[in-house]
Structure 1
Amino acid sequence: MLRKATSQDVADLAGVSRSAVSLVLNGRGDGNIAADKQALIIEAARKLNYTPNTVALSLRSRRSATIGVVTDWIATTAFGGKLLQGASDVAAAAGYLLLVIDTQNSAERERDAFERLQNRQVDGFLFAAQSLRSYEPGDELRIAPGALANCFDPDDRVPAFLPDEVSGSKSATQHLLDCGHRDIVMLMGTPEAVAAGLRVQGFVEAMTEAGLTAPEPVVTGWDIDKGYAAAMQVLTRPDPLPTAIVGANDRSAVGVILAAAELGLSVPGDLSVVGYDDDENVAPCLVPALTTVRLPHREMGEQAMQVLLDAVLNPAPSPAAGGRGPQPRVLLDCPLVVRDSVTGPRAGR
């Protein structure tokens, strides 16, 4: 069995002292060790595949080098996977391990998850939600270093990282306007969903700035059959037919395309369609491939974890001591992904 490299091996290879290795690999090299020596130490550690003894580090620093991640029901979803991957990559680069518990949207399981993670002495907590929503954090997140991803504390006691739903919807609508569309209908999803209201806001802003009156959004759901039903309603009414429809999400946009096909309308020739989410299992696979708005799940995980680790490594005074004021809500860009489901309106429409 090969012997695991030690800090002394790294020191010998780099030609420095063992204490210098300790300072650099524990993030305290700046101001203590010359830059060229730091580079030699990092290169020696890489060559030897050296990793610090996390148990020893924990005893010295009184940290466990673990972060507790609690989710509602995202662990088995494609979007949730991207969020967790982003958080995990940032944590791993800093030498931290994630302990992830998915509660299946159970309040009882959520309480149990935080208790179990506290008992394991994690250094901080991240709570991540499947759908954008308000979230009331417990003491664990408000007192220990904590962060939220895809949800927000209504009282802003915990930093939150969120998709900029308004700008995403606005850019999708603006794309249709830039292509020459004026008769545009929006499918809303469900009114109680936070994201739905924000997307409607972006749609209205884009239409208003173009000097147009935004029609009332059509309340649907989030699935293919709901998008199909809404599109059949819109595309068979006596009013002038829209030349473009903005789906509540990618799945509802699939329903719109199916309805158009049944009515003998081509997409995008007769009807342009835009989705929302950039679901990798839906949007690029359609014929035509769906123009849509991408949700920044990976970026939410990355940035939430980075802020959380900064708080762990550079602790501020406790809230009781007045050291933590209102925490930011960071809005992350939702970029438009242009594919084949949008073109200019047919002449005469």
Structure 2
Amino acid sequence: MTKRVTSFDVAKLAGVSRSVVSAVLNGTPGIGVSEEKREAVLKAIQELNYQVDAQARGMKTGRSHCIAAYGNVSNPMFLQVLEGMQGACAAHGYHVLLYPSSKEPQHTIDGLLDLYLQRRIDGIVALDRPHQANEAWIRQLVKHRLPYVSVEGYPHHEEVPSVLMDYQESIRRALDFLWGNVGLPPVYVEMHHGAHTLGWGDQQRREAYELWMKEHGLQPRIAAASADLSWEEGAEHWKRCIQEWGLPTAVLTNWSRGAVYVSRAAQMMGVPVGEQLHVMAADNTKRIHEYLYPSITSMEVPYREMGSAAAERLVEYIEGRRPYEDKSTQWLPAILAVRQSVATVSS
């Protein structure tokens, strides 16, 4: 069998000590390496085709260089978070372990905790719901000092660092855009599921809308509707709403599907969207708005960027570049995507 190349072989060829090779490979603190020696080590690694023994490195550093991504893979929002995580982790030499969601929260807690205690993962990024705080999970995080970053969850919890979009800022920018381009007081369409109360993000959106209208001396107009209506029921509902609002008018919806429903109802009535009815969505979670006709202007929730920021922050915790006690929230702005459903000043 071919003899396995070791760090000793690399050190011998490069003319340096094994500690220098280790410092180059692992960024070992306290060992300064000149650029000349670093180049010699890297050249030797390439020439010998040296591969790091991940298991041995893990035993030495206490790290697996693997991060768990926890979420529901059927959720398009989680897939966007995962996309951002993968890019950030690859840049830092970390792998991503996809951990499936479970109907039993305790199974999830036990499984993730076991992976961490076995040193098979170094930390966790999860797509959480802001209104679903799991206190039992938080107690385990604190007890074991488990590096954890939540995307969209725990907006006001002192023990969980979160990466969040600024929902109020996104609505204010959306309203400024509508007002500046069409000069019409926007109706706010608020979708919800059945009798469920609004989540934290939608509460923030409504508050921002009401405050913006008050600041501009305008009367808020909120049209709430269940997202559980059949297509036929929904179409009739939104056609009646459009008749009540009158034309021309501007509409801002809290969910992407609301913008789709209103646009379809308008087209069934022969009302030109983007001319007599200006429609804008406060999110585009399924990434479909640019493919519709007319395409829908949106404030896009930056899930990919949030995933990237969460992974970057988690690596900082793992590598000691950010203290574990720093649980501050990181806020990201929404992305304005201008499309056909709102007439613009330039047009």
Does residue 236 (structure 1) correspond to residue 243 (structure 2)? The answer is: yes
Residue of structure 2 in register with 1:329 after alignment: 329
Residues 289 and 50 (structure 1), Cα distance of their counterparts in 2 relative to 1, 3 Å cut: farther
Alignment partner, residue 186 of structure 2 = 184
Q: Which residue in the other structure is 1:341 paired with?
A: 341
- Secondary structure of 1:138's aligned partner: helix
Measure the CA separation in 2 of the matches of 1:31 and 1:212: 65
User: What residue ranges of structure 1 are gaps of 5+ in the alignment?
Assistant: 318-322
Tell me whether 1:79 sits opposite 2:77 in the alignment. Answer: yes
Calculate the TM-score normalised by the size of structure 2: 0.82
Are 2:40 and 1:34 aligned?
Answer: no
**2:340 partner letter:** D
SS in 2 for 1:147: strand
Question: What's the offset of the Cα at 1:328?
Answer: 0.9
Q: Which string of whole-angstrom CA distances, capped at 9 and with x for unpartnered residues, describes residues 66-120 of structure 1? A: 223332x2x2333211211222332233332232222145424323432442453
Which residue identity does 1:328 align to in structure 2?
A: S
Residue identity matched to 1:83: V
Change (3 A) 1:125 1:17: closer
Q: What is the alpha-carbon root mean square deviation over aligned residues? A: 3.3
State the SS of the aligned residue for 1:236. Answer: helix
For 1:100, the equivalent position in structure 2 comes to 98
The equivalent residue for 1:207 is 213
**CA deviation profile, 1:265-286 (whole Å, cap 9, x unmatched):** 0111110111233345411110
Q: Report if the CA contact (8 A) 1:126-1:149 is conserved.
A: no
TM-score, with length taken from structure 1: 0.82
Does the CA contact (< 8 Å) of 1:247 and 1:256 recur in 2?
A: no
Q: Alignment partner for residue 247 of structure 1, among 250, 253, 258?
A: 253
Residues 125 and 314 in structure 2, CA contact (< 8 A), matched pair in contact too = no
Distance (whole Å) between structure 2 residues aligned to residue 189 and residue 62 of structure 1: 47
CA offsets 1:15-52 (integer angstroms, 9 cap, x no match): 65443221022123786012454355456656876542
Name the CA distance, whole Å, in 2 between partners of 1:8 and 1:224: 69
Q: Which runs of 5+ in 2 are unaligned?
A: none
What does residue 65 of structure 1 align with? 65
CA distance in 1, matches of 2:301, 2:230: 19
Change (3 A) 1:281 1:332: closer
- What are the within-5 Å matches in structure 2 for residues 144-293 of structure 1? 144-152=146-154, 154-190=156-192, 191-221=197-227, 225=231, 228=235, 231-237=238-244, 240-241=246-247, 243-279=249-285, 281-293=287-299
Give the stretch that moved more between structures: 156-165 or 179-188. 179-188
Output one character per residue of 1:233-284: Cα deviation in whole Å (capped at 9) or x when no partner: 32122x5446111122222211111110112201111101112333454111
Which stretch shifts more, 289-298 or 148-157?
148-157
Identify which range, 102-111 or 253-262, moves more after superposition.
Answer: 102-111
Change (3 A) 1:62 1:270: same
Q: Distance in 2 between matches of 1:227 and 1:274?
A: 18
Aligned length: 336
Conservation of the 8 A alpha-carbon contact between 1:132 and 1:162: no
Give the Cα separation in 2 of the matches to 1:224 and 1:273. 21
1:114/1:123 CA distance change after superposition, 3 Å: closer
Q: Which amino acid aligns with 1:129?
A: L
